[in-house]
Amino acid sequence: MAEQTSKLYAIVHCKCPHCRRGDIFTGSMYGWNIQHTKEVCGHCGQRIEIEPGYFYAAMYVSYAMNVIEMLTASFATYLLFGPLTDDTFWHYLIVIFAGCFILYPFNYRYSRIILLHVLSPNIKYKPYYDK
C-alpha cells in the first residue's frame, strides 16, 4: 500500500486537492512555457475549475499575497535606504513595483492552489487514489 501524500506536499508541488497526485498546471512558473491551469486532473479526473468563474475568488487571495509582499518590500527598503522622504521615494517605488512584477507568476499559481486546497470545502481528499 502506498503512503498517503501530505497536504503540505500537495500545496508546495501544486498537486490536485482530490488525489494529491495529478498536476494542476501545465508549464513552469518561470520560463518560456506559459503556465495554464488544467481543466481536469490527469490522475483522478477531478474538474479543477469547479464552476464557471470559480477562480475569480483567487483574485482576493492574490490581493492579500500582494499586500504582504509589498509590506515586506517596503520594510526591506526602509532597512536599506532609511525612512520615506523625497530623496528615497523612487527607491521605494522601484523596489515595490519590481517585487510585484517578479512575484506575479508565483501569486497566480499559489493563489489558485490556496483557493483549491484551503478555501474550497467541496473538494475532499480521497486516499484511495494513493493505491
Q: One digit per residue, pLDDT tens: the chain, 131 residues?
A: 467 788 899 999 999 999 988 999 998 888 888 888 999 998 888 888 888 888 899 999 999 999 999 999 999 999 999 998 999 999 999 999 999 999 999 999 999 999 999 988 788 888 777 66
**CA 66, 100, 64: angle at the middle one, nearest 5?**
5
Query: Domain map of the chain by residue range?
Result: 7-129
Residue 10's Cβ-count burial label (10 Å; 0-12, 13-18, 19+) is buried
C-alpha cell at 41: 486532473
The whole-model pTM stands at: 0.85
